[in-house]
Chains A and B, each alone.
Chain A
Amino acid sequence: NAGVTQTPKFQVLKTGQSMTLQCAQDMNHEYMSWYRQDPGMGLRLIHYSVGAGITDQGEVPNGYNVSRSTTEDFPLRLLSAAPSQTSVYFCASADRGGNTIYFGEGSWLTVV
């Protein structure tokens, strides 16, 4: 059981470049989300999805896009990377009533 899988684990981008962080879960969870982790800020919610075809914004959505075409996948897109997006990104999933969230191992992104 792989759980929540994120790729890539490490990435360096130049300002203005675009990229996609991939996230997949094999637990048939309806709820998926993306967080960023910054020193002293804890985890902040970027976007979330309550099911295939449904996405919504979290606390810090600017500069990021998401889509949810299948239950399993929830990619996070940076359209034009900025140094302020240097962070550690975590994908997470949860079932409808479980209210326990399972996290991926994280993606370390540096924008130079």
Chain B
Amino acid sequence: GDSVTQMEGPVTLSEEAFLTINCTYTATGYPSLFWYVQYPGEGLQLLLKATKADDKGSNKGFEATYRKETTSFHLEKGSVQVSDSAVYFCALSDVNNDMRFGAGTRLTVKP
């Protein structure tokens, strides 16, 4: 079945460092791809999404490009802040709205 594999954490960076969290997927069809963020003690919030190949999702300085040829959707940010400390989940959604999530990557940004 469909699945998502994302980079294991935890990831610790200094403020203003460049962030990449890798995500690859396996799917039989053409899923939509998502990044969700979970701040401590809160639920998941949609960070960005892409619904077809070569689409780039972006929000709050984060970007991810839907790469069909490499089945990837890596999350990037050019300059992280302490407030970006959270757990990040890569996910895919098939045509039935069934979602599959990666295991999550915890990011800690130090001042």
Which residues of A line the B interface, CB within 8 A?
31, 33, 35, 40-45, 48, 50, 58, 90, 92, 94, 99-106
Complex: chain A residue closest to B104, CB-CB: A42
Main secondary structure of the interface of A (DSSP, over half): strand
Interface check B77, CB cutoff 8 A: no
Interface check B11, CB cutoff 8 A: no
Per the bound structure, the CA–CA distance linking A51 and B107 in Å amounts to 36
Residues of chain B from 63 to 95 with CB closer than 8 A to chain A in the complex: 89, 91, 93
Interface check B46, CB cutoff 8 A: yes
The 4 closest A-B pairs by CB, nearest first: A42-B101, A43-B101, A105-B43, A42-B103
Main secondary structure of the interface of B (DSSP, over half): strand
Q: Given A99-B93, A100-B49, A101-B93, are A45 and B99 neighbors across the interface (CB < 8 Å)?
A: yes
Question: Within 8 Å CB of A44, what residues of B?
Answer: 101
> What distance in Å separates the Cβ of B71 from its nearest Cβ neighbour in chain A?
17
Taking a contact as CB atoms under 8 Å apart, the answer to whether B43 and A104 are in contact is: yes
For this complex, 14 residue pairs linking A to B, each with C-beta atoms less than 8 Å apart, are A42-B4, A42-B89, A42-B104, A43-B91, A43-B101, A45-B99, A48-B97, A50-B97, A99-B32, A100-B34, A101-B93, A103-B36, A105-B43, A106-B43
Per the bound structure, the CA–CA distance linking A68 and B70 in Å amounts to 39
Taking a contact as CB atoms under 8 Å apart, the answer to whether A42 and B102 are in contact is: yes
Q: Given A103-B44, A105-B43, are A94 and B97 neighbors across the interface (CB < 8 Å)?
A: yes
